[in-house]
Amino acid sequence: MTSFQAAGKRVLVTGASSGVGAALARRLAAAGAVVGLIARRRDRLAQVLADCRTTSPDSTMWVADLADTPTVGRLGLQAWHGLGGVDVLVNNAAIPKRRAVTALKPDEVEAVMRVNFVAPMRLTLALLPRMLARRSGMIVNVSSVAGRLAVIHESAYCASKFALCGWSEGLAVDLAGTGVSVKLIEPGPVDTEIWDRPDNDEPIYRGPKVAPDEVAEGIVAAMGSDRFEHYLPDLKPIVDVKNADLDAFIAGAANMASNAP
């Protein structure tokens, strides 16, 4: 593995007002990258930008709601021109929807898909022709372990993250040899606001959570790696067990769900 050389790189990060996105933006700016920040909350985003500008004065931000899918492509092009190009696109923004599938409404599922999958897709397709013409670039998709195995009462979230995983694999295959690389990040439980969002059921998970800065450090390491997929922390053995006997996994998860409060 070679280390990612952040100095001088132009990195566009979505979901940058808090959590992993904010930690990643600060870490990259401290290493000399020019960071473009995208998120909905202006005040929070402005604070992250102020922190980034202490070491990377050319960093900038765009306040936008990635659920507004018709505008996402234009936003990507605005960022490209504002930064003078984009070397790395980090699709990090995501929203939860903890709710049993029997209580879900179609509009709720579609809202999750718009932010967690459609927005990354549209940003990627907006920037990709320019990366391909330059024959260099990197697309980093922050999915989740929930994109590789089902989580109780998380069917909408899992669907969006499974979609992002499949999309990322397809990108990696199609872009091989073009100079544009793809990294898929699979965080486990991370200590962010996603656990406290309103209009969600109480989380069933009560175990340990990883700090956002630790995940951000792992993402930077992944950006310097030749590998495609990166679990942060390494929960791949659990996914491998699931894949070895999917019926047993579903039976076990269903039993856990039936005993959940």
Q: Is residue 119 included in any domain, yes or no? A: yes
* pLDDT tops 80 at residue 232: yes
Are the C-beta atoms of residues 86 and 79 closer than 8 Å to each other? Answer: yes
* pLDDT tops 70 at residue 247: yes
- Residue 2: per-residue pLDDT: 67
CATH of the domain at 255: 3.40.50.720
Q: Residues 157, 162, 167, 231: which is the catalytic one?
A: 157
Q: Is residue 4 included in any domain, yes or no? A: no
Q: Is residue 1 included in any domain, yes or no? A: no
How far is it, in rounded angstroms, from Cα 32 to Cα 191? 26
Q: Is residue 89 included in any domain, yes or no? A: yes
Q: Is residue 5 included in any domain, yes or no? A: no
* pLDDT tops 70 at residue 3: yes
- Residue 201: per-residue pLDDT: 77
- Residue 195: per-residue pLDDT: 76
Query: Residue 10 contacts by C-beta under 8 Å, 6 or more apart in sequence?
Result: 33, 34, 36, 83, 84, 85, 86, 87, 88
The mean pLDDT value of the chain amounts to 94
- pLDDT tens digit sequence for 11-27: 999 999 999 999 999 99
Residue % of the chain over a pLDDT of 70: 98
* pLDDT tops 70 at residue 180: yes
- Residue 53: per-residue pLDDT: 98
pLDDT band at residue 161 under the 50/70/90 scheme: very high
* pLDDT tops 70 at residue 223: yes
Q: Is residue 150 included in any domain, yes or no? A: yes
Whether residue 233 has a cis bond before it, omega within 30° of 0: yes
Question: H or E stretch including 43?
Answer: helix 42-53
How far is it, in rounded angstroms, from Cα 170 to Cα 187? 20
Decide if 157 is catalytic. Answer: yes
From the centroid of its chain, how far is CA 110? 18
- Residue 259: per-residue pLDDT: 74
User: What single-letter amino acid sits at 12?
Assistant: L
- Residue 261: per-residue pLDDT: 60
Are the C-beta atoms of residues 212 and 23 closer than 8 Å to each other? Answer: yes
* pLDDT tops 60 at residue 1: no
- Residue 260: per-residue pLDDT: 67
Q: Is residue 97 included in any domain, yes or no? A: yes
- Which one, of 77, 139, 144, lies nearest residue 112 by Cα? 144
Q: Could you write out the DSSP letters of every residue in 197-243?
A: -SSSPPPS--S--B-HHHHHHHHHHHHT-S-SEEEES--HHHHHHHH
* pLDDT tops 70 at residue 245: yes
What value does the mean pLDDT take over residues 222-238? 95
Question: Residue 177 region, left (φ>0) first, then alpha (ψ -120 to 50), else beta?
Answer: left
Number of domains in the chain: 1
- 187 lies in which domain range? 10-259
* pLDDT tops 90 at residue 258: no
- Residue 256: per-residue pLDDT: 80
* The residue to which tokens 């505008």 are assigned: 71
pLDDT band at residue 108 under the 50/70/90 scheme: very high
Q: Which backbone phi and psi does 62 adopt, to 5 degrees?
A: -135, 125
Q: Is residue 2 included in any domain, yes or no? A: no
pLDDT band at residue 199 under the 50/70/90 scheme: confident
- pLDDT tens digit sequence for 41-98: 999 999 999 999 999 999 999 999 999 999 999 999 999 999 999 999 999 999 999 9
